[in-house]
Structure 1
Amino acid sequence: IQPKEIEERRKRPLVKSSFEKYTLNVDLSQMNNVDLDEKKYASKYSMLSAKELSYTIDTLKIDRKKDFEDLSENMYNRTTASTLSLNMNPREVDSAFSGASIYELFDNRRKIQLIDAATNSVNSTRAILNSKKKTLAIAEKNLNKHIISFYEKFALGFACIILFFVGAPLGALIRKGGFGLPIVIAIVLFLTYHFIGIFAKNSAEDSSLNPIAATWLSTLIMLPLSVYLTNRATKDRSLVSFDGIFDPINKLIGRKESEQKPVSSDQLVKSSEAFQTLDGYSKEKLIDVIKNYRQYDLDVSYKNSALAILNERGFTEDELRFGGNLLNENYENALRYKKSYASNSVTTFKLYFISLIGDIVGAVLNNNGFPTIGLILMIIGILATLIYIVYLFKSLSSLSNFYKQIPEKSGVNIFVLLFMGLPLFFLLYFYYKDKLKEDIKTIR
């Protein structure tokens, strides 16, 4: 609808129309002529076969080499080094130039011209290099993506085999936790494999990491794990065993365990005053002697004599055992935890000083002209610190379990002790060294 007035026509008024149904025809006939197998639709690296990738990689490498050659030739030509001698007419002189710089040979006007020419040349060269740097970075990234895609075709097939030898032994080794625990561990392992692969490939795109190594990295990390799990599954062993790690450390710097003496069967002489005293005890007192003779600082002969007296009164050893009157379970557990703490605390104490000496002496030597020895000592100190933390936790765990056997002293918090023990373990070591001997005697 065109308005009659010219001014209204210039305003280009909005035209509205209404309809109940509008049919729009779009010509899609050209889509039938698309051949997805045609090269122009399959040029992306992720859609190429191994043979095509190999050919493309070779081509990209040749192009990359040519780009560097062209750049180097361009930079060389800009220096005019090849034509530098054409405009020079050397002549014999009877004296050598002794100034600080040949710049002094020119007048001020010529000096300004030289500075301007040099500045313009440097700025121009810098602009060319910056532009070429971006172009070469894009080309290098494209080449790395093709290399990653090529080796990924082989790495994925190998990864399937490796992950099979990770998952299958896990199902055989994890026998607790029902269906959920194996699934959780499998998901964690797969995500670890997946994210390592992603991070490695992203790093390889800009050549921070070798693209070939990045493609195989996650698979190679899983390889020793698959060998380990398969080996333990075939030998029907548990999933994790730290004995192979801690035993050599205990033998090297741990406490030397004394040989256990055989249990004595000696008894008190019946005519002795001690035996007569025991013979006058009631059943309850005799059972108390049997269970707690060590807390009373008595010899094992007192226990054997008390057993003999009860046997004469018609109470057999089996009856006492089934009734829980032959051993003090709390004491036996506490004694076991005490021995564990004593063994681990000695190792922890030695590791504490090894880590302290290694770190401090290593840092001093490193800052005073002995970097190699200092670095070695610092590495030893760091490793000792890591092992120290593990043994500290083991020691404090045994200590906490020890005091759980003593109800009135079960309030030992392992996390508080861990917080205190990290920097000041030597104080805890000497404090609990004799305290455990006294506290274990209070168990009844």
Structure 2
Amino acid sequence: MNDDRLQFLSLYLVRFAGGFGLAALTTLLPTYINLYDPSALLLGLFTSGYTLASTLAIVPFAWGGDAGDKRTALVVAIGIATLAYTAFAFVSGSWQFVGARAMQGFAATGASLLSLSLVGELAPTGGRANHIGKANAARLASGIVGALSVGALYEVYGFQTVYAVLVALLVVSMVAVVLFVRPDPVRIEGFPFSSLSVNERLRTLTTFRGQYAVAVTLVRTWVPIYAGVEVAQGGLAYAPFAVGVVITAERGANMLFQPYTGRLSDRFGRAAFIALGGTGYGAIALAVPFTPGVGSVLALPPGIPGMEWLAATAPVKWVGVEAAVAGLGNLSPAFLPLIACNALLGIADAFREPASMALFADEGENTEGGGVASSFGIREFVWRPGSIGAPFVGGWLQTNVGIDWVFYLGGGAAFAAVAVFVLVLASQHGAGALRRW
């Protein structure tokens, strides 16, 4: 196996470990909400605590990665993530959970930003979106494994076993980076954020990303909440394993499509893929609150056909999933439509993500005085205001107006982001820019 392939595989493993951790907390978030019954403020902090801390991580990790060795900075980020998931095993209240989430967010941003930067530097320009798509597919694959296994592990063994698995996976990924990823020879002097802040193409991309953050944060956070919280709070009251199945639909569809859509955007231009993905995401988000009605009208079964047979098989018993499958129990006709909606959300995001990331990597590499890590840092910065504020708005909507309105706002924000992006692109870069970029 050649050296470059080992480097890519090691970085994909980092993405896998990071995705597993995010999937674990996403799957268990409704359980923590039911366990601690947080106020609207704390409910917002359950997500925004993560996002606020991840915002603080952008500049030190991005600047450190461009000015120094990205590999060393990545190892530091993985080490902090290991401490964060160790802390989760000892959480016993809402504020402790917020604190552990903050540490998780700080580490996750560093690991994500630096691993993507290294992939972007190693990949040839003409195949950049394809390699980034593969890196994201590794993260999404772990999201599938994490969402399903975490629900089962929690049902059978509890929180601590979940976090023990996470810590072990992070340690393995850290060892792989140390052994197989070469030290980064690229050094950027000065402060690359200054050069990149006046890049016209990046500024155009931010007109989309700033608003779109609201859409994705609300929808991606509240689909599992909608699936798992009690009926009294507007949810469907599904068990953690059922919530994991719902999450898996989005991750699986995204994982399968991203390498392919990334390759297509390398060939045919990336801006159109961003607009198409954003429009689809908004339309599907609006459909989520209607899944109970769709299930009832179509007289769908309250579960997944064949699950009873699956629960009776020896391999499932061997890994301890039988109890989790049985725990799917009290489902409703909304289950299959919700899975379908979340899968379609994953496909929509598969059009947007690799195209967007490749454009940011291109500009980081091509801008004099810029850097790939700092370009990804700007991408993260632009995302933060919406992703920090959206959970507070979502928490208020859930507790005061109704959980359905979270998805209506998310869908509207996606449509607005696409409309502004297309208008700015045409006015600043010409009518054909949507095809040329």
Q: TM-score higher than 0.5 here?
A: no
Q: TM-score range by the shorter chain?
A: under 0.3
From the CA coordinates, give the structure whose radius of gyration is larger. 1
Structure with more contact order per residue of length (Cα contacts < 8 Å, sep ≥ 6)? 2
